[in-house]
Amino acid sequence: MSRRVENVQKQQSKIADRPVLRVIGTIALICVVTGAMLACMAAMYVKMVIMPDADLKLTDFSLDLTTSVYYKDKKTGEDKQLQALHAGENRIWIDYEDIPKNLINAAVSIEDKRFYKHHGVDWIRTSKGIINMFTGQDIQGGSTITQQLIKNLTTENQVTVKRKVKEIFRALEFEDNYSKEKILEWYLNCIFLGEGCNGIYTASYAYFGKNVSELSLAECASLIGITNNPSQYDPYRDPKKNKVRQENILDQMYAQGKISKEECDQAKGEELKFIRGEDETREAIKPYGWYVDAVIDQVISDLKDTYNLSDQAAAGMVYSGGLQIYSCLDPAVQAAVDAVYSDRGNLNYTSPSGLPMQSAITIVDNQNGNVVALAGGVGQKTESRVLNRATQTKRPPGSSIKPLAVYSQAIEMGLITPLTVETDSPYEKAWPVNSYGSYRGKMTMIEALRVSCNTVAVKVLAKHVTPEVSYQFMRDRFHIKLVESRTIGSKLYTDIGLAQLALGGLTDGVSTYDMAAAYSVFPRGGIYYKPSTYTKVLDNKGKVLLERDSNGQVALKQKTTFYINNMLQEVVKSGTGTSANFSGMTLAGKTGTTTLRKDLWFAGYSPYYTAAVWTGYDKQEAMRIDGNPSAVMWRKVMQKVHANLSDKNFTSPDQSTLVTVEYCKVSGLLATSNCGGNIGRVTLSKEDAPKSTCKVHKAAPVTKPFDINDPTTWPTNDPNFNAEDPTTWPKNSSGGTTGTDTGDGQTPTEPTTPETPKQNTKPKED
């Protein structure tokens, strides 16, 4: 009986366990299926996303070939070499066989001790990195020398899972194609070691003043110690930290059997003598000119953007990738620039704090938009790739922004014509003030631009264009990069405002490079070309890597540029820009002066070339000199540039659509003989020409001469007058006439007595 009960209980237990087994089985099946699906998805992700980018070839990063920069000879049409670029400025390539063994061992010991055992990925270190990721810690670290080399050759340094996965597969693929020796050779020639040194050769001279082959064990460990964090372990900055790092590397070398205990101790005890030196066996390299510097900078930037390269990889390609760079340089124009800008005597001023006055210029060919010449500083250039103020320095443009941000836009939109009249008076309270220290009443746009009237520019922007539209116009038409919104601390900065766009008080400012490109739209009839110092770049096999976009963009109507050209000619002839004028050539342009004269500008053009000039101090200080040296520098350069060019006019619309009129400078209407010295002459589109005559200036009333026989000429308003008493007649009259001629019959216009400007915190600019 008991056995039967026991069997029944077992059967009941099995029945009870079946649902549990089913649940466990179902969960297990779900896990298997889910795992399989995830594995398939991961495989597809690797195949579709990772593997296409995993193939990385060193041939894509040739770093031991000479790059050539060419220019086109105008006479022959041939491409001639301007400059050969070598890696000597920041790198000299050392073959693996010539690298000291201690240097190799030091790098492997501290950076990747299992380098010779793994196949590109150290799975032990990688696993630790994955654990850190899932525990919310930093997922950096674990990179092998192979992975570090890949990061040095690309820009993919983001701390993301995708980047780590791609890096792993790239490293595995990389070591299938290259030996350990080749990887070490490239790694040691590419690592950044501070003090502007890329690679161990130049670093050896920078820190120890000797060839890398002469480095001792102690020096090898010190040098390799820098690469982990050059700003922290640079021995010139912190020799103590470098020493600690060096001894750590020596300990690792000893622990891994790379050196003996005696060698380790001896190296630790060796005094490190840091001394800068040069390779005397190498020929001294002449500094590149300003133009070559600009070409190098632009090509590096474009290679980075186009091919997703790091700064280091792009620079390596330019310096020693065997590239062929076809520049836009015009040697004759650059020679004119160099003749003026290399002579410190042309701008020999010093600030109160001892800074030398500096200047920069960029010249653009109006025909095609090519940047044909530039200079990034005044005086003899003694180094390559120093601060290039023409391309790298941005400064507030002052009133030189007015034709771009105010007048051309208002004309383009049909809101004003050159003869539109506005009153020169404060816009609000006592702001803005004018450089000439007064308010002159009513004036046309021609006159406002000629004398650089601030109040009129502000009113045109506020009443007609609006800052918001001007901002978009500057960005989209003239391609000037402005600040829409930027918060620094608790302060908000923006370039969308009256003072910024009408008076040039921009947050960052502009460069002469961008200003010249923008101004060249005017003499070109409204077409904007993106400025460039090169036309194309080929690799060492002749494949096109970069090519300049030669397509122009319509920025302004031809009528707009015709009006601006005429208005800016008046600035040079008799306005604020007379210092830039020279005979024999049609010229136009605009000055710019910022608050306290910290920055001075002149942007101008002929039918042939456009040039923008900035003058100031590297650290902004007030310039206590008379006049505008930017206009003077512009004239000195451009007069040389145009010495053998014939004069010609700017392009204009069909003559049948134009009419030339005499106008009143006060009313903007057709002038009459009563307007006297206020008469100007201008050519306009027929639709914009004034139809009515000036009503501001009227003829003076004509009075008859005194005649005792004509009662209508008696001075009846004189109570002392008595017709019967000659002694009361006008003193110079004897019964005949008195002279009462009023001259030219002109009635006085609004007073021009300067008003005393009130204190104002807003920019005062011309």
Task: Return the SS3 of 434.
Answer: coil
Q: Tell me the backbone φ, ψ of residue 508, rounded to 5 degrees.
A: -100, -35
How far, rounded to the nearest angstrom, does the alpha carbon of residue 527 sit from its chain's CA centroid? 21
CB 141 within 8 A of CB 124: no
Q: Is 144 helix (H, G, I), strand (E, B) or coil?
A: coil
* Cα 522-523-524 angle, rounded to 5 deg: 90
Query: What separation, in Å, do the N-terminal and C-terminal C-alpha atoms of the chain show?
Result: 118
Residue 68 bears catalytic tag: no
DSSP tally for the chain: helices H, then strands E: 24, 18
Question: What is the identity of the amino acid at 289?
Answer: G
- Which residue among the candidates 111, 156, 167, 412 is catalytic per the annotation? 111
CA dihedral over 398, 401, 407, 413, signed as positive or negative: negative
**192 - beta bridge partners?**
198
Which two structure tokens, joined as six digits, stand for 216?
A: 């001792």
> Which residues are 553's β-sheet partners?
528
Which among 412, 410, 411, 460 has a CA at the least distance from the CA of 432? 460
399 is catalytic: yes
Whether the CB-CB separation of 542 and 336 falls below 8 Å is answered with no
**What is the DSSP code string of 724-737?**
T-GGGS-TT-SSS-
Strands 658-664, 491-493: pairing kind = unpaired
> How far, CA to CA in Å, does 540 sit from each of 63, 67, 152, 298?
11, 8, 21, 19
Answer whether 359's CB lies under 8 Å from 635's CB. no
Residue that has been written with the tokens 């000039």 in this structure = 613
Backbone angles phi, psi at 113, to 5 degrees: -65, -20
- The conformational region for residue 479 under phi > 0 = left, psi -120 to 50 = alpha, else beta, is left
**Cα(314)–Cα(87) distance, integer angstroms:** 12
Tokens of 666: 């006060």
On the CB side of 527, CA atoms within 13 Å amount to 12
- Asked if 556 and 412 count as a contact pair (C-beta separation under 8 A), the reply is yes
Which uninterrupted H or E stretch holds 10? helix 2-45
Annotated catalytic residue within 109, 222, 320, 399 = 399
Active-site residue set: 111, 399
